[in-house]
Structure 1
């Protein structure tokens, strides 16, 4: 490319980065503002304050935020682990075995993934109330599987198809059983795909709002996205925007840490599959 073309590419990339990061920067700025400083018309706070963060950890909002943070970590980690284990076996069968209905399984998984969540919340709410799963961890883990399992099956099946079949056959020739070949040969080779799928599934469960707000009523199982919608100011005249922004920043940190820790595996998984066949 010529120097002029490179310049335009740099300008275009910079504009995209600014467009994507500006909302995040705005939320961070709000988290350091006082409630009376919201409408000052300035991007940066006139006076930085840690009051909003102290409110969500030790102040008036801690009773709502801290239990929700614990619930989100526990529920999302369990849902992600179950989803990845089930998807691993399903994806291996779809990629390796030839059986009737394989295409139907993938089509059904895709249909479940694109099915609107809002259309099943009301019947699920009624069923959960009747069988005692309303406002429980299990009552959220099961619906979260409907969100994470389809995309996990689709993603992992693509990685398992990239693994050479001869490697598993070679392990079996050396005396390994089918289970040993799967556990000691296939799974390690598919590790980038497993990590990528796990992180995507965790993000999907972590960001869910509809199930969290509809299937919970107390801090016993309410996740963070639902809790953020229930924040209130110290009085009816105080806007909770700054406290909500501080909580949003704290909730975003685990996502950023996961991406930074596993960025190499994510990139390898998204670009190359598991291995080159």
Structure 2
């Protein structure tokens, strides 16, 4: 084949509909993130300029300083960290035990239970936020970390249980039997055999739970109205006043909230994909 023919073949390979569609999807997804990052380094005058500049002409870190100091973003980040880490740890602990029970223990109605878990995992939050507010008001849980942790665990536990159960189905029973023969109890078997085998799925469920709770807005806005307990999405949304919108500070706070989760997913993307595909064919 001639050089021109090889060149045409290479061009056709990279200009197929799948590749072009993937590139368009990347551009559409990355464009808002790029604009948010660029604006976070602009001065207030440049951020509101028309037409907008594609790059900051005089980059500044003042937006980040103002977001962390004057805008209480440090407090909002702390609240988000407490709520999200606590919710993730509780979800993983309960999901491991429930997933093991569904995968190993004999029980009736296993199919309906799994279907119910899927239905709960896709249930819209907006349908229950009002009754949830009334219940937490009666229990005195409004404006507290626990008032968010409890519903976050309830909403994200079903998906984690489903993932852990499917992963544990692929774990050979012979490993547990060998541990039992060696004299290992239930807790030691869980720690030495089950945890390593369910590691990828456990990690993936943790990443999904943390990311979902970190970015959740509706329940955080409804259940925690006091400034001392607001999370970072709510803090970003309410920042500003009736006379001006400080886009640079808002985007700087959004970058501070987005980068940790994005880095977590990018660094551990292989483990996340492994957890998603582990036991995917199991029902």
Q: TM-score, normalised by structure 2?
A: 0.88
Mapped partners of 2:133, 2:259: distance in 1? 31
Task: Using the TM superposition, give the Cα deviation of residue 90 of structure 1 relative to its aligned residue in structure 2, in angstroms.
Answer: 0.6
Mapped partners of 1:114, 1:39: distance in 2? 42
**Correspondence for 2:128:** 120
**Correspondence for 2:190:** 182
**Correspondence for 2:57:** 46
The reply to whether residue 251 of structure 1 matches residue 260 of structure 2 is no
Query: For 2:141, what is the secondary structure of its paired residue?
Result: coil
Cα distance change, pair 232–147 in 1 and its aligned pair in 2 (3 A): same
Task: Using the TM superposition, give the Cα deviation of residue 256 of structure 1 relative to its aligned residue in structure 2, in angstroms.
Answer: 2.3
Match of 1:17 among 26, 48, 60: 26
Task: Using the TM superposition, give the Cα deviation of residue 167 of structure 1 relative to its aligned residue in structure 2, in angstroms.
Answer: 1.4
The reply to whether residue 95 of structure 1 matches residue 106 of structure 2 is no
**Correspondence for 2:3:** none
Mapped partners of 2:178, 2:92: distance in 1? 26
Give yes or no for contact 1:69–1:223 (8 Å, CA) kept in 2: yes
**Correspondence for 1:130:** 138
Give yes or no for contact 2:103–2:169 (8 Å, CA) kept in 1: yes
Shifted more, 174-183 versus 153-162: the winner is 174-183
Cα distance change, pair 269–102 in 1 and its aligned pair in 2 (3 A): same
Shifted more, 173-182 versus 74-83: the winner is 173-182
Segments of structure 2 that go 5 or more residues without pairing to the other structure are: 1-5
Residue by residue over 1:20-40, the C-alpha shift from the partner in whole angstroms, topping out at 9 and shown as x without a partner, is 211110110111122322242
Query: For 1:232, what is the secondary structure of its paired residue?
Result: coil
Give yes or no for contact 1:29–1:45 (8 Å, CA) kept in 2: yes
Residue by residue over 1:38-86, the C-alpha shift from the partner in whole angstroms, topping out at 9 and shown as x without a partner, is 242222233322221111122x31x2x1111100001100000000000
Residue by residue over 1:167-189, the C-alpha shift from the partner in whole angstroms, topping out at 9 and shown as x without a partner, is 11122122222332222111111
The reply to whether residue 56 of structure 1 matches residue 63 of structure 2 is no
Q: TM-score, normalised by structure 1?
A: 0.90
Task: Using the TM superposition, give the Cα deviation of residue 211 of structure 1 relative to its aligned residue in structure 2, in angstroms.
Answer: 0.6
Match of 1:35 among 12, 34, 44: 44
Mapped partners of 1:256, 1:4: distance in 2? 32
Give yes or no for contact 2:201–2:278 (8 Å, CA) kept in 1: no
- Structure 1 runs of 4+ with >6 Å offset: none
Mapped partners of 1:271, 1:131: distance in 2? 41
Mapped partners of 1:173, 1:6: distance in 2? 56
What is the aligned length?
269
What is the root-mean-square deviation of aligned Cα atoms in Å?
Answer: 2.0
**Correspondence for 1:265:** 271
Residue by residue over 1:93-150, the C-alpha shift from the partner in whole angstroms, topping out at 9 and shown as x without a partner, is 1111220122222222222212111121111112212221000000000111122101
